Structure 1
Amino acid sequence: MMSGDGGRCRYAEVQPFARCCAALLALPAFLVTISPVSAHRTASGWKYPPACCHGDIEHGECQAIPERAVKENGSGWSIVLEPGDHRKVTHRNRYFVPYGSEIPSGDGDYRICLHPTEEHENCFFVPPGAM
């Protein structure tokens, strides 16, 4: 028998603390696995399809664009974005989305996802009344 410890096992005293620490260490991994879900959500709460959105609400490539940037032509949607119209746009960009390739917007705004660069339109969203 060891002196001073009354024969108790020190592991029994440390075990609850070890379980607590293990749970705290697992928390960041859990948060990382759930954060991409919120990355696909707009400020109004509507969700982008996961195939369109690669980022978060502040740094991602999807966001609302001004209505003035969107024009219909005979076979689709012409979109002209200037710097300031979308966080990824650094110079004037033109995009064309043929009819039938647009996606209904869940919040009434025109929206676009630019991925992998500002030169490429990944997904284009149109308010239901405009389709």
Structure 2
Amino acid sequence: MDEPSGLGERGSAIWQAMATADVPRNALVLEAARLADRMDELDNIIQGKGVLNLMQFRLDFPNGDDEPYTVEVKFQAPLAEARQHALAFANILTKLSPADSKAAAAPAPVPADLPSNVSPLDRLNKKLKA
């Protein structure tokens, strides 16, 4: 499976570890890989170590126009953005994780002799007395 271009170190590791022959799954794996790389870049900004390299664009200057173009990209809250990325990343990983083979234990049925509004502690005390 060929690795998509543009992935960073962590994104590349996620792609290599999780990519399969399943195209829909790989779409999620790719998004998880991209999110991991973006989170690394956001973390660098939060720590004051760098700039955000998320966008690439090209400007075409019209002929004869001496006015320069000014492009300004602002990220007002990198910490909030990092939290949102982390939530999206966790959500994607949850969708990608294999289903747990063990089903959760069913809750114990309420004994017929106890009303449903009895607390678990009262149930335990009744059980211990019996």
Q: Which TM class, normalised by the smaller chain length?
A: under 0.3
- The structure in which a higher percent of residues are helix is 2
RCO comparison, higher one (Cα < 8 Å, 6+): 2
TM-score (norm 2): 0.21
Higher strand share: 1
